């Protein structure tokens, strides 16, 4: 099932699970689903393991010509997943969508190109996998301050308790970004 989120073009995708005494089976991606959701062609799969609860990764994005659409899912543990609209002409510029993703629920989020993306782990040893439609390009990589008060994101961890990379700790606030990605 594909459901629009509160900001245009962000989609919540719930794959159907077929369960029995052994567990379940689910198709998390196939051409029919991709066509129904008008998804791009994905060219790279990424995976991140976060050992500690309260690990924040993000908010990340890439600029053209390597901007990325991401299809994100949590395959172990749980996260609060966040997408911030950075599209120049959008009426929702600077607004965000936040969604809990977990291995238990199987819910996925499509984060369109033009959004900064990040997440905070809600459980230890959380594993997040995501597909992207453009390869990683260090010169085109950018970041947005995860704790920018102008964004007003209700993260499940206090600033003092977040586990961050030095790079993410140094990301600029929204007000200092050039308008649009």
Please identify every residue annotated as catalytic.
Answer: 60, 130
Cβ proximity of 107 and 5 under 8 Å: no
- Closest to 116 measured CA to CA, from 157, 174, 170: 174
CA 51 to chain centre: 18
- The 8-class DSSP code of residue 86 comes to -
- Closest to 30 measured CA to CA, from 114, 131, 129: 131
Contacts of 163 (CB under 8 A, 6+ apart): 50, 52, 54, 55, 56
How many CB atoms are closer than 10 A to CB 36? 11
Question: Which tokens belong to 98?
Answer: 């936040």
SS3 18: strand
């Amino acid at each position: 099932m594909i459901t629009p989120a509160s900001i245009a073009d962000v989609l919540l995708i719930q794959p159907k699970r077929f369960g029995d005494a052994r567990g379940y089976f689910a198709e998390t991606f196939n051409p029919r689903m991709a066509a129904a959701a008008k998804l791009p062609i994905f060219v790279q799969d990424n995976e991140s393991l976060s050992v500690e609860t309260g690990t924040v990764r993000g908010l990340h994005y890439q600029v053209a010509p390597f901007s990325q659409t991401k299809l994100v899912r949590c395959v172990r543990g749980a996260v609060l997943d966040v997408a911030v609209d950075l599209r120049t002409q959008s009426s929702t510029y600077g607004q965000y969508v936040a969604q809990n993703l977990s291995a238990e629920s199987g819910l996925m989020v499509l984060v369109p190109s033009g959004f900064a993306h990040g997440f905070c782990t809600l459980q230890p040893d959380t594993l997040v996998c995501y597909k992207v439609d453009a390869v990683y390009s260090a010169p085109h990589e950018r970041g947005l301050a995860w704790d920018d008060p102008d964004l007003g994101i209700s993260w499940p961890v206090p600033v003092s308790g977040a586990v961050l990379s030095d790079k993410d700790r140094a990301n600029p606030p929204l007000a200092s970004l050039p308008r649009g990605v």
